[in-house]
Structure 1
């Protein structure tokens, strides 16, 4: 049987925050799914670590699992903490910075193959 979501135990109650660990001076990631339609990734950022400004072909949703992070979208900063989320639209520059140790679940949904995503909303 094909497994679409990897690196998690199936049919077991789990805590996403416990699935990725902090490492001093690093960003740790754990990919749960990656294909042309969707990407599911857990991240743990040590304090002060960052992903520099970039964009994506898909819409990206951040779910904060632990700590506090600064998300910059198209030059505008937002501070997020546990339980908060933010949507980073496709093709819009964005960055992530860990104000303190910070864990997030990133869900990226890509356009259908051959379909252009030109939204700037």
Structure 2
């Protein structure tokens, strides 16, 4: 049977933050699940690294696991610290910037596709 959640051990207690490492000058990602309905990805950003402005067809929820990041949604800035979350609505331009090295969990829920 194929696991729907991948790249982490099943039936074992683990730290999400420990699953990705900050690397100098990089944005590191680790996909945990990806299909037509949902995407779950861990990210680790070095200080001053970013994901430039883009849009998504799904609602995106970010939860900061460590450090501090600035999320910009439709031109409005939000400074998030460990334990805080923000939902970025679908089709609104958004970006992520590392105020300091930080790690986050991104969950994107996509709209249900029309069935024909």
Q: How does the TM-score come out when normalised to structure 2?
A: 0.97
CA RMSD of aligned residues (A): 0.9
**1:36-90 superposed Cα distances (whole Å, 9 cap, x missing partner):** 0000000000000000000000000000000000000000001000000000000
1:29-44 to structure 2, matched below 5 A, reads: 29-44=29-44
Hey, what's the Cα distance between the residues in 1 that align with 2:78 and 2:2? 39
Hey, what's the Cα distance between the residues in 2 that align with 1:77 and 1:114? 34
Hey, what's the Cα distance between the residues in 1 that align with 2:113 and 2:64? 29
Query: Could you list the runs of 4 or more consecutive aligned residues of structure 1 that deviate by over 6 angstroms after TM superposition?
Result: none
Q: CA deviation at 1:95?
A: 0.3
Q: How does the TM-score come out when normalised to structure 1?
A: 0.93
| Secondary structure at the counterpart of residue 9 of structure 2 | coil
| Secondary structure at the counterpart of residue 70 of structure 2 | strand
**Alignment coverage as a number of residue pairs:** 115
Q: What's 2:7 paired with? A: 7
Hey, what's the Cα distance between the residues in 2 that align with 1:84 and 1:68? 10
Q: What's 2:67 paired with? A: 67
